[in-house]
Structure 1
Amino acid sequence: MRSVRPSVLPILVPIVLALLAVGGTAFLGDGAYAQEARVAFVDSEKIVDGYNRINEVRASYQADVKAWNDEAQGRKREIDLLESELEKQGPGLSDEKLREKEQDYQKKVSEYESFVQSIWGPNGLVVQRNEEVLRPVIKRIQTIVGEIAEERGLNLILDAADGNILYADPSLDLTAEVIQRLNGTDQ
């Protein structure tokens, strides 16, 4: 028996789930739990890009990232200057003074690396700030999608942005309506 290649699984799982959702009544039969699946989809990337206030959100985030970049560059210049001084002055310095300058240099390098990690590391400030500025936007999108689902009696809304929808009738696309409502609530 051949096994399914692991690289195919990320594609197959959403397809199988969508097929089960759409054709769920065939598997559930005529029992009390049988219900016709009502499905639609959105493209979350288009929704975010279509949000009128996204540029404000991005500008706030980018200003913080620029400030962190500027600080990192300043620290790096300071390290480069210390390194240059060490190379030029090193041979003429006493052992004690050379050791002192090398320790200062190593301390600055260590501080710089810690700073870079605290900003751009896996749990750094860049990741935290991105989540912070996008969280309210995502929450509003989810609320609007939920309202539309309730109004239309939908029980499943998929996201086309991740590319896991192979085919869907364009009439099932709620993206434009979500964008319209999202921008309408800001006016």
Structure 2
Amino acid sequence: MKTPSLIFTKIALGIMITAGLAACNGNKTETKTTSTTPAAATVPVDDKAQIVFVNQDTLLSQYKYVKDMTGRLESKGKAAQNDVGARQQAIQREVAEYQRGANTMSADQRAATEQRLQRKGQEFQQYSQAAGAQVQNDQASEQVKLYEKISAFMKEYAKEKGYKMILTYQKGNATMLYGDPSMDITADVVKRLNDAYTKDKK
């Protein structure tokens, strides 16, 4: 039987969010290759550049929408964990009560009680698995929303700035080993995303 701890211990928000955004660079493969590309916040961006990049690690750590999304998922995960834990404890109490009084029961009573407890155990297992699946579905749904939100912004941003391509840089991702700081638009992107999100929340 799966316990709540096994089902819910890894909400894994950092990994989840990274996976949700990784499609921006068209390659989810990660290696241990390191890079010294800085996430410059003050270097002026070359206005003539047609290919620029965003530091994905910085974006995910500073975008307020991601922080709120993380909070929503944590709340849902904790609520589901508490619910499953309460149900598990209720069944455990019934089992303990049966064990204490089993010697005073007739054979038929013991058989009927054991069947009932076994059925409850199976129902609990199914419920806990469904609850875990729901948490995963919520994570997947939030990933899609995050990707669509950033993708739509980047499309309009590139059109406004005249960029032909916006790449993402992430430490350890070999798809981009180096980018000139003058091509780093991370600071402006984070600021404008946060401004838009703050406006939407009002």
Fold-level similarity (TM above 0.5) = yes
1:34-74 C-alpha deviation (Å, 9 max, x unpaired)? xxx94322233422321224333333222222221111011
User: Are 2:159 and 1:150 aligned?
Assistant: yes
User: Are 2:149 and 1:140 aligned?
Assistant: yes
1:12-52 C-alpha deviation (Å, 9 max, x unpaired)? 9xxxxxxxxxxxxxxxxxxxxxxxx9432223342232122
Please say if residues 39 and 172 of structure 1, whose CA atoms lie closer than 8 Å, have aligned partners that are also in contact: yes
| Structure 1 stretch displaced more, 124-133 or 75-84 | 124-133
Choose from 130, 154, 157 the match for 2:139: 130
TM-score between the two structures when normalised by the length of structure 2? 0.64
- What residue is the counterpart of 1:20 in the other structure? none
TM-score between the two structures when normalised by the length of structure 1? 0.68
C-alpha distance in 1 between matches for 2:79 and 2:99: 30
Q: Which has the greater radius of gyration? A: 1
| Structure 1 stretch displaced more, 40-49 or 80-89 | 40-49
SS of match in other structure, 1:166 = coil
Equivalent positions of 1:1-187 (< 5 A) are 10=29, 38-120=50-132, 124-161=133-170, 163-164=173-174, 165-185=176-196, 186-187=198-199
Q: Does the C-alpha gap of structure 1 residues 152 and 104 become closer, same or farther in structure 2, counting only changes over 3 Å?
A: same
- The letter of the residue matching 1:154 is Y
Q: Which 5+ residue runs of structure 2 have no aligned equivalent?
A: 1-28, 32-48
C-alpha distance in 2 between matches for 1:54 and 1:84: 44
- The letter of the residue matching 1:104 is R
1:66-87 C-alpha deviation (Å, 9 max, x unpaired)? 2211110111101211221232
Corresponding residue pairs, total: 151
C-alpha distance in 1 between matches for 2:181 and 2:95: 61
Q: Per chain length, whose mean CA-contact separation is higher, i.e. which structure has more relative contact order (CA < 8 Å, sep 6+)? A: 2
Please say if residues 40 and 174 of structure 1, whose CA atoms lie closer than 8 Å, have aligned partners that are also in contact: yes
C-alpha distance in 2 between matches for 1:143 and 1:126: 26
Deviation of 1:111 (Å): 1.5
SS of match in other structure, 2:64 = coil
Q: Does the C-alpha gap of structure 1 residues 119 and 43 become closer, same or farther in structure 2, counting only changes over 3 Å?
A: farther
- What residue is the counterpart of 2:34 in the other structure? none
